[in-house]
């Protein structure tokens, strides 16, 4: 029987553009255990649930350890497509869809459990003149990043982890974001933000680059979360040329305005026929680039879009060894001058220590943060 769109033999209740026998995400998993947590170098999944938690009154080091053991065990099972202890919904794990979990500690966890081990960089990002930070998107004691290529899986995993933690923490905030759906763009292609820009080109890709920029010797790293509000109404009044000049890249393929493709190094000295620099020195690309005398000012960008009308923006997630050396100098340079400042405003900010990866057979990495909490 043909449908109005001309499709035939479509099962009742199945959209005409679906392929019910094609389930590429059913067996798609990301390894949970390893030297580093998943969700950092993992290719960006389609859905993000970032949850900030605050410790409940009276929860001390022992309670934090108990929570980390519980969360680690449950996350390990779910990431592998197995039903965690206490769950009565094993059907929900039939399609893990590249589910990942990433846990981070705020300052207060160290103050309670291990003040002598607190990293020197674990403190708020310094105030910026263009910031309009809201308390509702501020620092929390813990953060849990859950990502998956299926929004149902991502939501169910969040619900399970929240339910499992009620004796220890309260939710401070939830930031939900999205990227391109699985299969919408070729694997490895850089996703776009709501300005239409390719976002995340300048990133580490090799193990050597991750070792240099992101991971400490013990496998830990830092996470900075900046909630960036984007003024789409005014941005959309610009023509394409003005948008590209503000960013320093073409909109169609993300290539520098100096030429080449997305990954061609920019030529910031190239001059046009009028004697002007092809890439505006105040463009976002030019201001964000690591100066020749400070090559260490690089980090991993893993942003997600959000759209909650009338607000739209970016959940900008950055991973680096030391935010004081790598992240903050770049932000201060952008805060001083960046043509994109006219359409972007930071409304949230938080910093976390991201524990090393886990090994169930290890004496000090069996659960998240054991090296700090034990």
Average pLDDT per 10 consecutive residues for the chain, totaling 374 residues: 50 55 84 98 97 98 98 98 91 94 99 98 98 98 98 97 98 98 87 94 96 98 99 98 97 95 95 95 97 97 97 98 99 98 98 98 94 94
Q: What pLDDT, on the 0 to 100 scale, is given for residue 36? A: 98
Q: What pLDDT, on the 0 to 100 scale, is given for residue 1? A: 47
Q: What pLDDT, on the 0 to 100 scale, is given for residue 14? A: 52
pTM, two decimals, is 0.93
Give CA–CA dist 218/237, Å, rounded: 48
């Amino acid at each position: 029987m043909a449908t109005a769109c001309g499709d035939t033999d479509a099962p009742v209740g199945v959209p005409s553009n679906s392929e019910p026998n094609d389930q590429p995400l059913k067996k798609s998993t990301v390894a949970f255990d390893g030297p580093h947590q998943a969700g950092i170098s993992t290719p960006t999944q389609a859905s993000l649930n970032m949850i900030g938690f605050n410790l409940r009154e009276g929860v001390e080091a022992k309670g934090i350890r108990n929570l980390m053991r519980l969360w680690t065990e449950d996350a390990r099972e779910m990431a592998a497509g197995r039903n965690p202890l206490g769950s009565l919904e094993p059907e929900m794990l039939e399609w893990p869809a590249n589910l990942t979990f990433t846990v981070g500690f705020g300052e207060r966890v160290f103050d309670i459990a291990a003040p002598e081990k607190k990293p020197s960089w674990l403190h708020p990002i310094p105030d910026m003149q263009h910031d309009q930070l809201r308390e509702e998107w501020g620092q929390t004691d813990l953060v849990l990043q859950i990502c998956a290529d299926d929004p149902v899986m991502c939501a169910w995993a969040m619900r399970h982890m929240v339910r499992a933690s009620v004796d220890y923490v309260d939710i401070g905030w939830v930031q939900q974001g999205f990227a391109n759906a699985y299969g919408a763009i070729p694997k490895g292609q850089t996703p776009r933000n709501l300005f239409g820009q390719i976002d995340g080109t300048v990133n580490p890709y090799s193990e050597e680059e991750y070792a240099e920029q992101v991971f400490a010797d013990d496998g830990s790293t830092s996470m900075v979360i900046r909630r960036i509000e984007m003024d789409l109404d005014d941005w959309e009044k610009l023509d394409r040329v003005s948008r590209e000049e503000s960013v320093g890249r073409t909109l169609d393929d993300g290539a520098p305005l100096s030429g080449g493709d997305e990954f061609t190094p920019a030529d910031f000295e190239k001059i046009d026929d009028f004697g002007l620099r092809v890439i505006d020195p105040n463009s976002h690309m030019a201001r964000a680039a690591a100066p020749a005398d400070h090559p260490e000012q690089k980090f991993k960008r893993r942003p997600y879009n959000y759209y909650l009308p009338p607000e739209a923006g970016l959940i900008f997630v950055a991973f680096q060894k030391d935010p004081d050396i790598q992240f903050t100098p770049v932000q201060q340079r952008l805060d001083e001058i960046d043509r994109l400042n006219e359409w972007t405003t930071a409304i949230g900010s938080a910093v976390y220590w991201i524990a090393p990866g886990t090994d169930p057979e290890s004496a000090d990495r069996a659960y998240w943060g054991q090296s700090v909490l034990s």
